A and B are shown apart, each in its own frame.
Chain A
Amino acid sequence: MKIVVCVKQVPDSAATVVAENGQVSWGDAPLVINPWDEYAVEAALKTKEAHDGTVTVVSMGGENAKEALKHALAMGCNDAILISDPALEAVDTQGTAQVLAAAIKKIGEVDMAFFGRQAIDGDAGITPVQTARVLGWPALTLAATIDVEGDTVKVERSIEEGRQTVSAKLPAVFSLVKDYGEPRYPSFMGIRKASRAEIPVWSLADLGIEAPAAVVEWPQIINPPKKDVTCEIVEGGSPKEIAEALVDKILAEKVL
């Protein structure tokens, strides 16, 4: 079983992200592996353990994306590849999908490609399906369970209405949700291995593709309007009184 898991390095969810001079900025907040991708790594590792395989973790990004890769290596992935090229700076999800698909092809004989459901920076959530489309593979998104038998895979999708069971032939693309189960921590042995790993860097030339042109542009980036919140504690002698006072206030404020 040959598994690829794609991860992205993103600003920490605790970072304050603001628009500054038309650019997105998160100050000096630390970058971390996209939290959703940790579920994808967990799923990749569990599948590898159950079916005797290897997991290659792939990231497209700058030099700092190596940290996300090393985190995945420390969790137990076998090897890592960074795809980095100056021509990829302004790439959109469609371009990312072309690059990742090219990498998956170059790795060769991949059975399963795992993704997190979305990245917490761009929040587009479509890179997995776009990659599947470029590869011509089925996309099994929002996976909460994954069962492989021979060349068939059965997935329970966690969707708003409930659970949906779908199946497909491998190779296939998967995107993972939290229901899959908590990602493991890196082990100390994994940390030792990861901190020593030399991660190969592939350029567009290595992948044999041209820089994909972005079809989505970001013409304007602005901060959300400031919310003016005031807090008022509703007092009263009994829960009933408090509730009544609260209802009056809500009506007076025309919230309802």
Chain B
Amino acid sequence: MNGPLLAVSGLSKHYRRAGKMVAAADDVAFDIQPGQTLALAGPSGSGKSTIARLVLRLIEPDAGNIRFEDADFLALGGAALRARRARLQMVFQDPLAAFNPRATVARVLDDPLRIHGIAERSERPRRIAALLERVGLPTELAQRAIHEISGGQRQRVAIARAIATKPSLIVLDEAVSALDVSVRGKILELLLDLQREEGIAYLFISHDLGVVRAIAHRVAILDGGRIAESGDARAVIDVPRSAIGKALVAAAPKLPAPARTAS
């Protein structure tokens, strides 16, 4: 591959809501390089999840292009689309909603291995154990039901499932927003480890600018379906130029200074 991993241009999606048109995504363009993290930040309703769903082809755009791994992603169908989907995975905020809560962890991890023909039936239990280990979970967890494990453990399972098919890009929509700070810190470390070791790129959606600044290479700030500004994550968040960027940064809650120990 010689271009970016993902190149999006002119992407638009409108919704009709109670008789009015809402521009959920409006002429959006961005690139993601292999092994890099692009964060999408922006106020509630600015179109972050819509863009995630468009990139994953869970919904179809009104207009625009999506190139993924040098292929016209929107033109793919059938077997070619299925094959390419293995390279583009997702993790959402609430894994309970994404999984059948009664399914076991083993079952959740078995699905992608089977569907994408990644491992023979006899080999899969070993693969599942390896995936659990990779995301820092005890292998005994495989036999538990999804509703019997904690939120942080569930999010690790969701990441294990996402990496099962050896993706080049994972879309994470508010994937750490529901986690407490200590669990969140560990999950972020895990994501950075996976990126370093397997070269995975992330489209990382979060309204938490502190998290974005800590883990993303670049950030695009959305407002009303449009990109208001984009650039190096720390540069943009430290000195935002757009009105919305400034407002988001100014409104972030801050701890009084003496609270922090030097790190």
User: Is the A/B pair a real complex?
Assistant: no
B-side residues, CB < 8 A to A, are: none
